[in-house]
Amino acid sequence: MQNLIQAQRTFFNTNATKDIKFRKQQLQKLFDVLKENEQLMFDAIYTDFKKSSFDTFTTELALVYSDIKEAIKKVDDWSRIKNKRTNMLNFPAKSYVIPEPLGVSLVIGAWNYPYQLSFAPAVSAIVAGCTVVLKPSEIPENTSKVMAKIINDNFAPEFFKVVEGGVEATTELLKQQFDKIFFTGSTTVGRIVYQAAAKHLTPVTLELGGKSPAFITANANLKIAAKRLVWSKFLNAGQTCIAPDYLIVHKSIKDEFLNLLKTEIENSHFDPDNKNYVQIVNRKNTERLVKLIDSKKVVFGGDYNLEERIISPTILDNITFEDKIMEEEIFGPILPIIYYDDLDAIVAKVKQLPKPLSCYVFTKSKSAKNKILNEISFGGGCINEAVMHLSNPNFGFGGVGDSGMGSYHGEEGFKAFSHYKSILDKPTWIEPNLKYYPQTSLKLKLIKLFFGLK
């Protein structure tokens, strides 16, 4: 690993990646090799957890392709030197900011959307002019292998290399000195990564998880809310970092909304008998999820098959914040419902919890919407929709507090892997003597004036 990182550092120091043409070529190459190997990727992910090629394309590859296209189109603009106004104190001078790539980067991916969560940060790194060591999650082993094959067969290791492995390999990687670490995964491992990065003062982006709530007020369009929530919750068998983790529903619509949710699930393709019903990624997670199903609270589903790693879409009703299911991020097809009476009280309660990655509000009420948006801190979210904010390329995506730090996609991704050098560029034909001795009261007066002070 030391040799690999040294080779990347040597390559980075040749300035090859600072050439915008080089970045565009590498991005186009990435686009092309992913396209050529699409079928391999579809097959691998189906073997790992039965994700269909339709879902893999729409929720993973489409986002990566669109990020690459956007990066190629915008890199000239993002990387150009930006002029800034020079303040009076420094007059005459030019002021500008130079974006520079941070250097050798490490991208660590999570397993739930393995292609998207590995390649999208790599696109951000490449467009910013960094070299990349990519460590995909080892859990879906076929997707990890395919990514290693596609990248390592087509890119020079000193520029872009996939290193496969689990905790041991990642721990070893984290001992090395990188110029940027981009991590996607759990809050627990995020802390480990942050501590390792601190040793070398390496900047980090942490894309973590958490329990994302969805509020449904009494006056919401309930049919639409049920349809959108069922899709976003059970997509990928609930293994989505921004999935609505639990619902907060006004108690006056309890029966009506519960019935709508059940009907939506019944009418959906989220059916364990469907050959494309996504599996839980491994036995350990299946067992963890099964333990979270409190049979006394099941009002829909609750069936599972440990061998097949399948859990049917499940609704748990009348949940309280004290229930076991509310202790950790669910990350599976189990939907708990908490009922509320008083919006002020429930918002106050949610504010006491760790800051979630997302928050969703289904309502026609402006005041309810504004209250939730203004009072609860969270990464990002939607009104009368769930999950889809991720698909708007004009947004940065990231968490806050326990759900992460920093953001990416589009220009935010470029910024995540860049440093902005501020330059004051002075001419020599004049030498204002304000800062030099002797210190007179007139000079002080002028300095105060230039600072905008009396």
Residues that bind ligand NAD (CB under 6 A): 108-112, 117, 135, 137-138, 166-167, 170-171, 184-186, 189, 192, 207-209, 241, 329, 331, 357, 399, 404
Question: How near is the Cβ of 340 to ligand NAD at its closest, in Å?
Answer: 24
For ligand NAD, give the closer residue by CB, 167 or 224.
167
Question: How near is the Cβ of 241 to ligand NAD at its closest, in Å?
Answer: 3
Name the E strands within 44-130: 82-84, 94-101, 104-108
Q: Are 419 and 100 in contact (CB under 8 A)?
A: yes
Classify residue 9 by its DSSP letter: H
Question: How near is the Cβ of 187 to ligand NAD at its closest, in Å?
Answer: 6
Active site residues: 207, 241
- 448 CB neighbour count, 10 Å cutoff: 11
CA 156/CA 4 separation, integer angstroms: 11
Taking CB positions, which residue lies at the least distance from ligand NAD?
A: 209
Q: 427: helix, coil or strand? A: coil
In the beta sheet, which residues pair with residue 315? 300, 335
CA 160/CA 166 separation, integer angstroms: 19
For ligand NAD, give the closer residue by CB, 75 or 122.
122
Cα 292 to the center of its chain, rounded Å = 25
Question: How near is the Cβ of 129 to ligand NAD at its closest, in Å?
Answer: 23
Nearest to 340 by CA among 261, 254, 259, 257: 254
CA 117/CA 59 separation, integer angstroms: 11
For ligand NAD, give the closer residue by CB, 153 or 168.
168
CA 160/CA 126 separation, integer angstroms: 9
For ligand NAD, give the closer residue by CB, 70 or 329.
329
For ligand NAD, give the closer residue by CB, 89 or 192.
192
Q: Are 423 and 430 in contact (CB under 8 A)?
A: no
Phi and psi at residue 296, in whole multiples of 5°? -70, -20
CA 402/CA 275 separation, integer angstroms: 36
Q: What is the DSSP string of 355-368?
A: PPSEEEEE-S-HHH
Question: How near is the Cβ of 170 to ligand NAD at its closest, in Å?
Answer: 3
Q: What is the DSSP string of 241-269?
A: TTS--EEEEEGGGHHHHHHHHHHHHHHSS
For ligand NAD, give the closer residue by CB, 109 or 336.
109
Question: How near is the Cβ of 442 to ligand NAD at its closest, in Å?
Answer: 56
Question: How near is the Cβ of 397 to ligand NAD at its closest, in Å?
Answer: 7
For ligand NAD, give the closer residue by CB, 44 or 357.
357
Instruction: Please give the structure tokens belonging to residue 272.
Output: 């364990």
CA 258/CA 415 separation, integer angstroms: 43
Nearest to 242 by CA among 63, 30, 454, 433: 63
